[in-house]
Every structure is written in C-alpha cells, then in structure tokens.
Structure 1
C-alpha cells in the first residue's frame, strides 16, 4: 500500500497552488492578446482580473460553508475538477463572455482549495512545523509569480494565449491525480457545523487580523497594480528590464514566503510588525529607487520579499486564532486577501484617475502599510496569546 510522506502530500498541494496562482496572475500579461483575438477593448479585458478577485472573496466562504459535510479529500477532488474544467473552457472560449465565465468557475474553487490545503497541511504537521506547512502551500503561488507567470506571458505572446490555459489544465490534471493518490482520508474529530463555523465573525483575534489585511496590507496592491508602468516610465525599462524586474519580484516572494515559514506561532505578531514596517519603508522610497536601473532591480526584489514575507504570517494568524472554525478559517483568509487585492487595486486606479503621480500613489500605499503595522501593534496588546502557543 502506498503511504505518501508529509512532504509528498504538501508537494502535491504546491503543484495545485502553483497552477491556481498562474491562472490568477498570468492574465495580466495576456490582456492585449485577449482584446485582439476576442474583439473587445483592453479596458474590458480588465474585468478578467477584477471579477476574479471579487468572485474569490464572495464565493469562497459560501462554497466552503455549503460543503462542510464533505470529506476533505472528496472536496479537494471536486474543487480541482472544477479548476480543470474551467481552464479547458478558457482554452476553447469562442468569445469574451465564455472566457469571463471560465474565470468565475476557477474563482469559485480558489479560496476553498487554499483554505483546505492549508488546514490539511497543518493537520499532518508537528506543532513546530505548522507555520512552515502554511508557507509551503502558499509557496506554489509565489513560484508561479516568479516562473509560471513570465513563462505563460511569453507563451501567450509568442504562440497562442489558449495554449497557456491548456498548460494550466495539464497542471490541474496532475494535481487531481496527485490528490487521488496521496491525500489521506483525513476527517476532523467533530463534523463542522455552520453555526459554530460562523461564530468566527465574533472572534476579536480574527477580526483584528482581517482589519489589518483589508485596511493596511491592501496598500501592497495599490502599488503593485502599477509596477509595470512605473518601471517603464520612471526607470525607462523595455520588455527585458521589466521581465527581469518581475522575475526578481517573484524571487523575492519565494524567499520571503519560505523565510516566513520558519516563524514560530508565538512570534507571529512581532514578525508581522517587523515585516510590515520594512515593507512600508520599501514602498515609501520605491519610486526614488526606480530612478536607477540597479536600484530598480533591488526594489523589485525587496517589494516581493516584503509582500510575501508577510502574507503567510497573516494567514497563520487567522488560522491559529479561529479555533472554533477549523473548516472555514483558511478559506476566510484566502478570501480576505482577495478582498484586499480588489480594494488596493481600485484605490490605486482611482488615485491615478485623480492625477496622482506614481510617487504619491506609493506614498499612499506606504501609509496604508504603516497603518496596518500600528494596528497590529495595538492588536498584539489585547489578543489572546494562548491561541498562538504550540500544541
């Protein structure tokens, strides 16, 4: 009988989060191809990004609550099957409306998949590796940003954007087979109940972290949304320089993510304060660093490192604090980050339309990060520290 190790199971989960991350972010580099092939305006193709993020926020908790009685393995199989179908639909889409529908399909499984895999990874890990297991699952997403998205953008531009979705579908099929073969038939001791899971909305420790993400960490997306035009207009980079910068952002994301995985539960709050402070400084001086190519590369690396050095720790804060909602907590965390994504990107666009310069936009982004940092300092003084002890 095949008895997969913890590392093999988590590796399968990482393939899945890599594929989902590629699906979410590769669209950014394919908007021109979508517009030309499907005969729509580039502004319209932007819906593929905004609708996805909003749909993840809305559908994530709903789907998870509706499937509480499903065994984790069965639910993962269903979710990945939806993902596989959504990418086949995208690859064969005859028009923009069908392509947008495929994004709704994949968005519906995004947060439940991340939430479930993070929870399962924690369940099969010893206490001192629980934070690392969350970072490992999220590692697939950061590797997608570093490698998958640039590769997909290149394939879409050089060959055909539909081929990108076929490649992602193959990754989805690989994940599906891996889950069937390796994921244990793990069941929680108590079958989750909707009323108990929903009580998480009264948990002050969870709400404080959500507040930090939505009103503080969202500043990341206010700046990140315009990273490409900033590199083009301020630094003077062409395609090669921008590609290298985005790769370095992804490299920093991978490094930051796995470094965050070494943080023990009792140190989560202090590490968030530290990383958000550093990230705020990077964003405050970001456009000044972009004025020199070498410093622009360094800024891209540090931006990625700070962003994804914070993300898994904030995820861990929610999951550890939501003891009463083991099924919903991970999904809630993933949904909240997509809400922050939408808020940050929308704010950035609004500021740009109000004739704010890129420098002023990064100042606003930095101020939001610092606000999140100070909010976490206050939260750290009133939170229940027993929730973050290893057990």
Structure 2
C-alpha cells in the first residue's frame, strides 16, 4: 500500500497477525479512511506525544545552561549558543525538509522526522564536548518545525468536516503540556542527576513516539504527494507572506515579556525567585486552555479568530505593564498572555492551509519558522527597551505595540484575499 494515490489492495484494519511459512505476518496498516473515531484520537494522541517531547527539549535547555557551562568550563554566553543553534535548526529545517520531501508518504516522513529527533537528543546525552553538544542540538532542532507541520496537516486530513481547527489544536496540545509538566520534570532530573539525564528523558519520549507512530499511524492516502516546485510555489503567494507576518509580529509581543519574566516578577512585583515556577506554570496552563479555545475559534471563523486573538493580546500585554507590580495580579495576567497567544496559533495554521493551495506542507512549516522568528524578535526588542533604562515592565508595552502592528497587517490581508 502506498500513499501516492494509486489504488491500494484493500486490507482489514483490525486483522490479526497470521502465521505464514513459519513466520508471523505483520499486521496490515489501514488507510486513514478506514480507521475508527477512537483510532483517530489514539493516533492524534501519539502525534501529540511527539509535540510533548519537542516542547520539553526546546524549553528545558534554558534551565540547564548553568550546569552545562560549568561542565564544559565555558561562559554563560557560550552556553546560550545551545539555545540559538537549536532555533537555527528549527528555522532552517522546517522549510527545507518540507519543500524537498513532498513525494514521501506522510506516514514515512513522520517516522523519519522523529528518528532524527531521537538521534539529536541521544547525541545530546553523550557529554563528549561542547562542539558535539552544539551539533546535537542543531540536529534535534531540524525536525521540529517539519514535524509540527506534517503532524498538524495529518490531523486535519483525518478530521471530520468542520473540525480541522480542533484536530490541529489537539496535536498542538502536546507542546503546551510539555512546557507545564514535562519541562519541570526534566529540569528536576537534570538538577538531581546531571543535565544529560534531561536529554535522556527526551530521547525516551522520542522513542515512545516513534514506536506509537510505527504501530498506529495509518497510511495518509488523502494527503497527495507534491513536488519541490509545487511546495516552493507558496513563496509566490502574498497571502502566505501576510499570514506569516502576522504570526512573527503578533506572537513576538509575548516573548518581549516571557524572556524577562523572572526579573520582572522579582524586581517589580517583589516575588521570591523560588516562586517563579508558579508564574511559568500559570503561563503554561494558559497555553493549554488557549490552544483548545483557539481550535474552536478556527473552526468558527479563521480570519475573525486571528483578529480577536490579536486584540486580546494587545489588551493583555498593556494590562501587564500595570499588573506586574503586584505578584498575584501579575501572575494571573501572565497566564492570560499565554492563553491569548495560544488562541492565535490554530487559526494561523488553518489559514495557511487554506491560502497555500497544494503547497500546504511548506506553508504550515513556515508558520513554525515565523513563530520562532517572533520569539527572537520579541526577546531582542524587550532587551533593547530594558537596555535603554526602562523598567522590566516596559517590554510589555513594546509587545503590545508589536501585536497592534499585526492588527494593521490583518486588514489589508483580509481585503486583498476578498
């Protein structure tokens, strides 16, 4: 059976393995149109597990920098390159992989991407040298954007009519849960047994995902193959670029605050540093709930869902400028920032699928690159604001300004499409 659109031989999805010539035949893999609703949710859960593992490996490195710097006798700045090199892997890998793997069956591509993820994180556990760790983090980052792109499109392809947003949000939930539950667990293991153990946990999660997809993922026969030229055709589409612009600008506002939240809450709100985990937990919970609500908004109305999320981000960031002087109000407000930021993502993903034609995979992966550019943009602008002598609360206003710029992009984007 193949996903190229050729008529496959019909198989029975729940057929048991049979003996043949003294060997056990492998259970046939069903097509996506043959699986039950329960099987569909199990497959989406397996895809979400991969997102969980990616979320852990992306964010836990930030808390391990001191230990890594100490082990390799390097400065904190040098250790910080580990974060940068991973992000470079995401930005480079997402468009390149998706543009040139259009002819690969989607099931096979997901398995290859998760295998690369496992290799990158397994190399990260070696503790051989600083240079090896940098290479390992780059390899681990390469499949990040492409995995979320293909996994999201696969979930949308399996979803019933009118439920694409919810399906994408369900798979994306893995990343949000990973930041809330997985990162603290990996951080605790790294603190107790050495930083390399955190990457051991991520490697195990990657292997679990690989096995789950191998046994559960159906053949994605409704996802037709494409050529590099077809995928690269997305780059000629102004609607794709405008949507990506909204993602990188609007999402960047949150990271103008997130990057400096520890200093903000300790210096401005007087919160003990030992309680910062509560603030980060509030943000993570906000992301989980916002991801769910964002899926519903996308299924309701994609363009209006984007506008509503952006307006709410502007309000939440503006309010944080004032609430960040109080520990309780600031924590609640920070959770709302995570909530509204996450509501934006499913609508952006669905919109890119709708406007990109047959180049959906590249367009969806570029969304991951755009969000990572937004992370870097927000952090850089927040740093400039603080470096200019303003308070740690002020980056919130800069972030609100970025989200407002994204609103200004929204109006011509919608008008030009019509």
Q: What is the SS of the residue equivalent to 1:324? A: coil
Does 2:104 correspond to 1:75?
A: no
What CA distance in whole angstroms lies between the structure 1 residues aligned with 2:209 and 2:223?
A: 26
Structure 2 vs 1, CA of residues 236 and 95 (structure 1 numbering), >3 Å: closer, same or farther? farther
Where relative contact order (Cα < 8 A, 6+ residues apart) is larger, the structure is 1
Give matches, 1:205-244, under 5 Å.
205-244=239-278
What CA distance in whole angstroms lies between the structure 1 residues aligned with 2:325 and 2:376?
A: 28
In structure 2, what is the equivalent of residue 104 of structure 1? 138
Give matches, 1:150-229, under 5 Å.
150-188=184-222, 190-229=224-263
In structure 1, what is the equivalent of residue 4 of structure 2? none
What CA distance in whole angstroms lies between the structure 2 residues aligned with 1:43 and 1:109?
A: 25
What CA distance in whole angstroms lies between the structure 2 residues aligned with 1:379 and 1:211?
A: 10
Checking the alignment, whether the CA contact within 8 Å between 2:111 and 2:213 is kept in structure 1 is yes
Post-superposition offset of 1:10: 0.3
Structure showing greater radius of gyration is 2
Aligned match for 1:251, one of 280, 285, 288: 285
Aligned match for 1:304, one of 338, 343, 366: 338
Q: What is the SS of the residue equivalent to 1:128? A: coil
Structure 2 vs 1, CA of residues 175 and 190 (structure 1 numbering), >3 Å: closer, same or farther? closer
Post-superposition offset of 1:269: 1.3
Q: What is the SS of the residue equivalent to 2:162? A: helix
TM-score (norm 2): 0.88
Provide, for residues 168-221 of structure 1, a one-character-per-residue CA deviation record: whole Å limited to 9, x for no partner. Answer: 111001000011011112145643012121111122221211121223322222
Post-superposition offset of 1:78: 1.1
Q: What is the SS of the residue equivalent to 2:360? A: coil
What CA distance in whole angstroms lies between the structure 2 residues aligned with 1:283 and 1:294?
A: 16
What CA distance in whole angstroms lies between the structure 2 residues aligned with 1:187 and 1:168?
A: 31
Provide, for residues 106-129 of structure 1, a one-character-per-residue CA deviation record: whole Å limited to 9, x for no partner. Answer: 111111111110111111111211
Aligned match for 1:64, one of 84, 92, 98: 98
Structure 2 vs 1, CA of residues 276 and 264 (structure 1 numbering), >3 Å: closer, same or farther? closer
Provide, for residues 131-162 of structure 1, a one-character-per-residue CA deviation record: whole Å limited to 9, x for no partner. Answer: 11111111101111111122222222233211
Give matches, 1:138-149, under 5 Å.
138-149=172-183
In structure 1, what is the equivalent of residue 360 of structure 2? 326
Post-superposition offset of 1:7: 0.2
What CA distance in whole angstroms lies between the structure 2 residues aligned with 1:254 and 1:327?
A: 24
Aligned match for 1:44, one of 60, 68, 78: 78
In structure 1, what is the equivalent of residue 160 of structure 2? 126
What CA distance in whole angstroms lies between the structure 1 residues aligned with 2:279 and 2:94?
A: 32
Post-superposition offset of 1:366: 0.8
In structure 2, what is the equivalent of residue 353 of structure 1? 387
What CA distance in whole angstroms lies between the structure 1 residues aligned with 2:119 and 2:75?
A: 26
**C-alpha RMSD of the superposition:** 1.7
TM-score (norm 1): 0.93
Give matches, 1:239-388, under 5 Å.
239-265=273-299, 267-384=301-418
Post-superposition offset of 1:164: 0.8
Q: What is the SS of the residue equivalent to 1:291? A: coil
In structure 2, what is the equivalent of residue 24 of structure 1? 58
What CA distance in whole angstroms lies between the structure 1 residues aligned with 2:243 and 2:300?
A: 15
For structure 1, list consecutive stretches of 5 or more residues without a partner in the other structure. Answer: 385-391
Does 2:76 correspond to 1:33?
A: no
Q: What is the SS of the residue equivalent to 1:218? A: helix
Checking the alignment, whether the CA contact within 8 Å between 1:192 and 1:327 is kept in structure 2 is no
Checking the alignment, whether the CA contact within 8 Å between 2:117 and 2:206 is kept in structure 1 is yes
Aligned match for 1:6, one of 40, 55, 61: 40
Post-superposition offset of 1:283: 1.1
| Number of corresponding residues | 384
What CA distance in whole angstroms lies between the structure 2 residues aligned with 1:291 and 1:209?
A: 35
